[in-house]
Amino acid sequence: MTKLEELVKKQREFFSSGKTLDVDFRISALKKLKKAINRNEDKIYRALKDDLNKPKFEAFVGEIGFVLKEIDFVIKHLKEWAKPVKVPTDIVNFPATSRIYHQPYGVSLIFSPWNYPFHLAMMPLIGTIAGGNTAILKPSEYAQSTSSIVKSLTAETFEEEYIVVVEGDKTVSEKLLDLKFDKIFFTGNSEVGKIVMKKAAEHLTPVTLELGGKSPVIVLGDANIKMAAKRIVWGKFFNAGQTCVAPDYVCIEESVYENFKNAILKETEKYYKLKKIERHYSKIVNIKHYKRLLGLIEKSTVILGGHYDESKLFIYPTVVEAKTNSAIMEDEIFGPILPLLKFKDYESMRDYIKSKPKPLALYIFTKSDNQKERVLNEIQSGGVTINDTLIHLSSNYLPFGGIGESGMGIYHGKYSFDEFTQKRAVMERKTYVEFPLRYPPYTPIKLSTVKKLF
């Protein structure tokens, strides 16, 4: 038996002991996790600095603070969520009561990516703990410093038969996928997501796929141009564009294109005026992605930026003008390059966006309530933020997830609890009376009565 097989066996035995079914046990585990995060906060900052040069502000807002807020929210509401839910009972089943129980899946496997290596490891882990499961967590090897701190943090907090981190490269991930789990949660790109789903199908294991894609921005003629530019630039260059819901490209109505372009350039130039910009700006994760992004810049019409520093893996904020057939419009950018596309009107924007795979996020800038509803009705996506970017995923009350090629399944807040539990139908019949209606012989009168009941 391999080490990985042994871990899964231990976790299955621990889950079978029933300890995780106790909601107080789950809450205690979440409190321990919170204490461990607070205790290791400075180490987490240093790890994120090392892996991605994350400014402390971005590291807190996008990673540590986000996770701590989620833990507090789940602890506050978990007992309420875990209660059986009483639902009505059909008259055909009288006398009876009906309830929905939230049943843990069992042993879960979590794959987390490198772009938010702490946040995207902890968030699904919170959900699996809340749901009453055990977990094996496989972080990305591309963010090694954060992966190491996640491993040590969990090891000092939990026994490995409950929560354990397994590090390694692609071969380790492949070996894990060969094993049988009860739930798999994957965050990453769609190509690897397809492999995960295919392997999960061999064991009929339910999966949650948090993927990505080219999330568009729509800027209509009545938008607050100055505010739109400010918020789009912030969302695009946060974490140097290495965000699954980053504004990938901007569709601008022709009537306001020049005004908007000038506003975008003005906002982007502010980065270059920062004293020691490196203190406020993340780096590209590795040389492979760095060179991929440089290739996109070389094929684009740059109107601002395009500067880079290989020694620091820095690609500075860059704005390009693009057409729908430009090379940069083929795949998700996942970096600090913002393409601007001019369209005659909303209809042409809509048709172009709908010709592409359904995105993980959609951003709409308009003052018109009618236009907001029209876009929401006509263009499918995962989440939506209107007149801002990124922030829809920060709410504990909203589900986060994709549609189509951008993913399946939702989480955050109660939706994480729901994602890591199965809805178990339970009907209890009363014994104080019995009706002979359902038993043979099946007479015409019985059939007539049943028809009326149905």
Query: Is 251 tagged catalytic?
Result: no
Question: At residue 421, what are phi and psi to the nearest 5 degrees?
Answer: -135, 150
- Only one residue has tokens 């702490």, namely 118
Residue 244 among the catalytic residues = yes
| Interior angle at CA 335, CA 330 and CA 337, nearest 5 | 75
Helix axes 23-39, 41-52, angle to 10 degrees: 70
- Write down the residue that tokens 């290495």 correspond to: 242
- CA–CA distance, 174 with 176 (Å, rounded to integer): 5
- Of the candidates 89, 151, 88, the one whose C-alpha atom is nearest the C-alpha of residue 118 is 151
Distance (Å, rounded) from C-alpha 219 to C-alpha 148?
A: 42
Rounded to 5°, the CA angle 118-209-331 comes to 90
What single-letter DSSP state applies at residue 283? P
- The one catalytic residue in 63, 70, 244, 253 is 244
Pairing of strands 134-138, 163-165: parallel
Rounded distance between C-alpha atoms, residue 443 and residue 445, angstroms: 5
What does the block give as tokens for 225? 């141009």
**Token digits of residue 284:** 């590209």
**What is the DSSP code (8-state) at residue 439?**
S
* DSSP letter (8 states) at residue 63: I
Catalytic residue among 63, 210, 332, 419: 210
The token pair that represents 268 in the structure block: 């982007």
Cα separation, 112 vs 336, whole angstroms: 22
Please give the structure tokens belonging to residue 382: 């995962």
Beta-carbon count within 10 A of 167 CB: 15
Q: How many CA atoms lie within 13 A of 299 on its CB side?
A: 14
How far apart CA 233 and CA 437 sit, in angstroms, is 69
Strand partners for 343? 253
| Rounded alpha-carbon distances, angstroms, from residue 329 to 192, 324, 333, 338, 348 | 21, 6, 8, 11, 16
Angstrom distance (rounded) from CA 52 to CA 41? 16
The partner residues of 101 in beta bridges, in order of sequence, read 424
Contact 96, 89 (CB under 8 A): yes
Catalytically active residues are 210, 244
